[in-house]
């Protein structure tokens, strides 16, 4: 007897390998997966403007980047002793307006290059619920703890989300026509909106993405990865959630990543992924006696492995490695 189901996952015709350049955008779950890309040392960047949950705000920031529409004083406001911007996450907020604007505009330039050079763009949508500024009647990416009376809350229709996704694809293709798109829905439950409301929100996102992928914009290569469905169906247990009962825990994230690897990572990359993972684990090793001959042999062999990988893939850097702690004169 089968006591569980497993969602069938197709294998990508254009998988990610170590020559690929990946740009990940969207919800906090996009950052969970990006941490996996970082751990295995793929060429990856994530959420340059911070976490953004809804499709329209992602479209809006992509439009600004592609058109190189720089931020000005009219785009920022002062609140809670910081300069803020409704289009970006509060992690970028600054007490100095000039520094804030310069930082945001530098991000436009760097993100433009990342998108232009990307082989894959992974977009994770979190919610269909949006907050619209009553003063400007524009949808915000982040409320920055401005009182709720300044906004009206709405649920984006499937049609609006579909149009927003199409616009996002077209904008990215205008500077990178060969890029591959991977869409997914965050499994994080937005229960502040309500139980039924969260399901309506996810349903609108799923329906809109599949509408777009059925008839993709001209020349667009897109795929859907079912992270939400894997969590809801294969991981049907609260033990796979963190203490807040909203976010997938590390076991769930690891499992979803395994399924992502099966679907979207080239088999040619598997052996290098194993080597990188072995090095990462070795770098966490804490010796009882750092000066012992056994440990110094271990260090030497580990450095040789790192050098071999970096010779072939110079972009791979192991940041936690601290060779200055080794005395090279003692171990020639």
Does the residue 45 lie in any domain?
Answer: yes
The pTM for the full model equals 0.91
- Same domain, yes or no, for 97 and 197? yes
- Same domain, yes or no, for 124 and 231? yes
Count of domains in the chain?
Answer: 2
What strands lie across the sheet with 129-133, from one edge to the other? Answer: 139-140, 129-133, 151-155
Query: The tokens of 44 are what?
Result: 């990856």
Number of H helices, E strands in the chain: 9, 10
Span 189-241, pLDDT tens digits: 999 999 999 999 999 999 999 999 998 777 778 999 999 999 999 998 999 99
Task: Give the domain-ending residue among 240, 265, 290.
Answer: 265
- Same domain, yes or no, for 288 and 261? no
Does the residue 113 lie in any domain?
Answer: yes
Q: Give the separation between CA 90 and CA 149, rounded to whole angstroms.
A: 19
- Same domain, yes or no, for 261 and 282? no
Does the residue 270 lie in any domain?
Answer: no
Span 85-102, pLDDT tens digits: 999 999 999 999 999 999
- Same domain, yes or no, for 134 and 159? yes
Span 39-54, pLDDT tens digits: 999 999 999 999 999 9
Average pLDDT value for the chain: 92
Range of the domain at 93: 21-265
- Same domain, yes or no, for 247 and 321? no
What is the b/e burial string over 143-160, where b = at least 16 CB atoms within 10 angstroms of the residue's CB? ebebeeeebeeeebebeb
Does the residue 4 lie in any domain?
Answer: no
Q: With 80 as the cut, is the pLDDT of residue 171 above it?
A: yes
């Amino acid at each position: 007897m089968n006591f569980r189901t497993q969602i069938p996952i197709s294998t990508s015709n254009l998988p990610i390998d170590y020559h690929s350049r990946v740009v990940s955008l969207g919800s906090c779950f996009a950052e969970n997966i990006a941490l996996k890309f970082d751990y295995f040392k793929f060429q990856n960047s994530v959420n340059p403007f911070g976490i953004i949950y809804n499709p329209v705000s992602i479209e809006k920031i992509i439009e600004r980047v592609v058109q190189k529409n720089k931020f000005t004083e009219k785009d920022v406001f002062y609140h809670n002793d910081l300069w803020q911007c409704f289009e970006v996450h509060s992690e970028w907020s600054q007490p100095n307006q000039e520094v804030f604007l310069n930082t945001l505009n530098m991000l436009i330039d760097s993100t433009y290059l990342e998108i232009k050079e990307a082989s894959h763009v992974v977009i994770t949508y979190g919610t269909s619920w949006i907050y619209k500024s009553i003063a400007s009647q524009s949808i915000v990416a982040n409320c920055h703890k401005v009182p709720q009376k300044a906004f009206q809350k709405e649920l984006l229709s499937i049609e609006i989300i579909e149009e927003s996704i199409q616009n996002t694809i077209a904008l990215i293709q205008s500077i990178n026509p060969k890029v591959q798109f991977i869409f997914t829905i965050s499994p994080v439950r937005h229960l502040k909106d309500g139980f039924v409301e969260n399901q309506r929100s996810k349903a609108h996102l799923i329906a809109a993405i599949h509408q777009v992928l059925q008839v993709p914009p001209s020349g667009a290569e897109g795929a859907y990865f079912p992270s939400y469905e894997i969590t809801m169906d294969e991981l049907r247990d609260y033990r796979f959630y963190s203490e807040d009962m909203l976010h997938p825990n590390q076991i769930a994230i690891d499992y979803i990543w395994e399924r992502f690897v099966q679907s979207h990572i080239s088999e040619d990359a598997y052996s290098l992924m194993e080597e990188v993972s072995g090095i990462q684990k070795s770098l966490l090793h804490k010796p009882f006696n750092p000066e012992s001959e056994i440990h110094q042999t271990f260090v030497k062999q580990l450095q040789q492995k790192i050098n071999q990988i970096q010779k072939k893939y110079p972009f791979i850097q192991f940041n936690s490695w601290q060779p200055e702690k080794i005395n090279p004169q003692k171990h020639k």
